[in-house]
Structure 1
């Protein structure tokens, strides 16, 4: 099959990593691919390295040549602006398109957005929460749940040793996400305020940057058990250095970084928000806490740090859960959708 993937994001976050991972697997399996992206973006630069055709456009209104999708079976949309490019291409040349939605926010009730979603042949959500949000706005749409798959990062043992030495004699509790309000960093800080006296060995390390940085630093002022490590690109080293991974978001499409933590061998704690329970089955593949509840998070962290038998059992449960998110499996689910539309 020949597929046209479209991702018009300027940055390179989880959605772009997931798009890239699917593309890499499809190339490995012999698919012919065209990828539409904005020029001079991290995503476009990654696509340039691959055995596929890159087409660039600065805006979804531009570059609608028939030749781009002339021999493509369908278009696969991966983010919000891309759906409008696909809709226009469909209107002009009748190429079908599907949409993968990665966030559990309510869909916009706007004319063009409604039209673009209605014309899609299939709407895919990464989690049950996302599929439910889609059905609220488009109850008659063909929907499927296909989760993203964890990215496997390289590890440099020397760098890992340096990180561990930086936090010598500490239990590293890591949270890795952009510093956005809905990611729950305020809950993490609240938890560590409760832990700083009783558990001085626990160190919260926050990886990421974003608009909430100054507010969070103000909230954690004077707390030596919290470290802001900034945005990191070599995530494999940090996963290898950490002891516990937390993801207490207030809302979340899926929480693919949790999958990456499990794959790296970390026990995980997350909130019962959005698609996180699709990954973390409480007391089976990790621990779930109430979103926004710092006390519950503190208790879960303490339990995970002190109960080795629990940690071992949850790690085994996490590895079993990962089978449902394997890239070969999720790629096969997309292939089945492609062929049903073709």
Structure 2
């Protein structure tokens, strides 16, 4: 019987540091599911890992010699040291652990025999990403993943009881405010916390909960005394697990750069945090980590190497972060939560979009050479709208008189036209280069060239040579480009590549791109743009169905199944038609609506004639109002063979339509089979037909799938997409050099 490999992972510092090690723990367990994995942690922080199923044991650091004895008894084969100091380096050496992996930057790295060269003080990436990077030598998947903190139902219940004893009720909307940091960073001023807490309590009817350590009780009392409203104060020094449970009960969490910030982010609680302009405290390395809604506010100006305290003329720099900006940032979070701010206090909140930017404003050139207005162009417009609302300059670089140019003009977004003769077109590149220079002269921040199509990545590369700029490339499809120098220059030489789904990211890694260069940001939907807001959804749905029935002669009382796709090979409209044939053999009164245009239209129509289904399958062509189609349907079908993510699925979910789709590409990032839709293998019309029939024959199932789809939409809001993309811009610029 083969011996299990025994791993010892070491992180013996604070709560936040240990929390940021959990993505690496998950990655190691994923790579070695049968291994024995232990963690050495401080007694102060170890309970962060309680209930973590990725671990077999947690060893507490109880002093040098007793800890050495514990490690020797563990008979470990491999040690991974996430934060290397002399004590830890000597421990693993004296414990005779055969393979010792750790970051190399200090002299005591001589005790490490599998060094990973990292200079974390240069702040090139997040601390959690540095931790993941150490596992490359073990063959682990080092892609970004969320931190893990696991609370049992009993722990949650016990923490809820603590809040009830304070006077809070279960249905209260609680904002947790943790104003201290135990000296780990410069804090936002006490009076600012007090004013922000008052405004939240009064204007949004939010219950404010002040939390802190035992040593911070007086700080909490001072803030309470500065408030006109009465906050709830957690004065009791709780065990760490109970404190984590209290944090999990908050709807959002406001704090400085401190451990509880990372606890909240790991629990998926939206966070607002305040970071000082000190390089060692940079939010690029120490900010909240994960896919949740996290906003960081920091004073403007150049980062300090260290804080000179009273000797510095700007020692009061944290006061530069105004209460107004913090209040509007909090409103931004409320706007993305399932409980909208207007439901807390109707009519009092005008929106987060007036929030001042903390870096920039940036000038972003969005490049798209498309001749149609499809999903990718819609995503570009969503992003530009949200970034413009935050005060950044957005210029849409597109073809003259293209549908994208007309829609951008309608949205009052600035446009600039290029001929885009061919992929490596020097004429377009030269014109673009002149435009970049004219728009960004005397600007402190590098220009951002964001290519939304593969061809424009080439124009971006040519135009940006030698300029103070960063190049961002979006990849929206999951099929591989031809390998070669062209692909290398467009993607591998970009500052950052954004993948819209997990399968797209996997394809890029398989094509040879370094995982650390790729960030996944799902496509989005503008939840405020629904056309039924004035008349109401049911009235809009009825009017749309009446209109389409009259235009195309479709029976209003029939069951309508439909799709809204380009009629091109990777969307596989022929699979849609073949599945319709199977459905019609069981449900002959069903009508199928296929909206869209493309080079397979003739082939699709010929297949319909061959099957003799012309009375039941209707080709609508390009339809300018997609929500009219979607709201009129009883069932939406996506038949793709290859799919980056399928943003039309988000629109279908928003329109309240149940979905049957293939499992191609990034569709599985949106649809969880059996929860908010039914999935079938790609290129399998019979299986796709069976999924449709399950929904047609079961109205209760159809209703449940549609309801769950609408619930999931908040995960894909354009606000979240813009926030994540802006974070990529900020991180890339922080680490950029003109190329």
TM-score bracket for the superposition, by shorter chain length:
over 0.9
The answer to whether structure 1 residue 92 and structure 2 residue 466 are counterparts is: yes
Structure 1 residue 185 and structure 2 residue 577: aligned?
no
Query: Aligned pair 1:147/2:532, yes or no?
Result: no
The whole-number CA distance in structure 1 between the counterparts of 2:490 and 2:576 is 38
Q: Deviations over 1:119-144 (max 9, x none)?
A: 21111111111111111223325111
What is the rounded CA distance, in whole Å, between the counterparts of 1:228 and 1:115 in structure 2? 41
Taking the aligned partners of 1:225 and 1:19, their CA distance within structure 2 comes to 36
Compute the displacement of 1:178 (Å). 1.1
Spell out, residue by residue over 1:285-337, the C-alpha distance to the aligned partner (whole angstroms, 9 max, x if none).
Answer: 10001111111111111110121221222122212221221111111100111
Once the two structures are superposed, residues 161-211 of structure 1 have per-residue CA deviations (whole angstroms, 9 ceiling, x without a partner) of 232463222110011111112212222222222232321221111111111
Shift of residue 265 of structure 1? 0.6
From 403, 419, 425, give the equivalent of 1:58.
419
Q: Shift in Å at residue 74 of structure 1?
A: 1.7
Please list, as runs of the form range in 1=range in 2, the aligned pairs for 1:104-143 lying within 5 A after superposition: 104-140=478-514, 142-143=517-518
The structure-2 alpha-carbon separation of the partners of 1:101 and 1:244, relative to structure 1 and needing over 3 Å to count, comes to: same
Offset at residue 233 of structure 1 (A):
0.6
- Does 1:322 pair with 2:713? yes
Does residue 1:35 correspond to 2:372, yes or no? Answer: no
Q: Which residue of 1 aligns with 2:604?
A: 216
Give the Cα–Cα distance (whole angstroms) in 2 for the partners of residues 123 and 213 of structure 1: 33
Distance change >3 Å, CA 319–CA 153, structure 1 → 2: closer
Q: Deviations over 1:12-38 (max 9, x none)?
A: 221111111111111122222222222
**2:543 counterpart (155, 158, 164):** 158
* Distance of aligned partners of 1:69 and 1:160 in 2 relative to their CA distance in 1, 3 Å threshold: farther
Q: Are 1:235 and 2:626 an aligned pair?
A: yes
Q: 1:92 to 1:51 in 2, by over 3 A?
A: farther
Structure-2 change in CA distance of 1:184 and 1:10 (3 Å): closer
Identify unmatched segments of 5+ residues in structure 1. none
The reply on whether 1:281 has 2:672 as its aligned counterpart is yes
Distance in 2 between residues matched to 1:107 and 1:45, nearest whole Å:
30
TM-superposed CA distance for 1:159, in Å, is 4.0
CA distance in 2, matches of 1:112, 1:69: 27
CA distance in 1, matches of 2:513, 2:418: 32
Aligned length: 342
Distance 1:179 1:170 in 2: 25
2:438 corresponds to which of 47, 60, 67: 67
Q: Higher relative contact order by CA 8 Å / sep ≥ 6: 1 or 2?
A: 1
CA distance, structure 2, for counterparts of residue 229 and residue 300 of structure 1: 24
Q: Does residue 82 of the first structure (1) align with residue 456 of the second (2)?
A: yes
Higher Cα Rg, which structure:
2
The TM-score, its normalising length taken from structure 1, stands at 0.94
**What is the RMSD of the two structures over their aligned residues, measured on CA atoms?**
1.8
Q: Find the aligned partners of 1:146 and 1:100 in 2 and give their Cα distance.
A: 10
What secondary structure sits across from 2:487 in the alignment? helix
CA contact (8 A) 2:562 2:637 kept: yes
TM-score by length of 2: 0.45
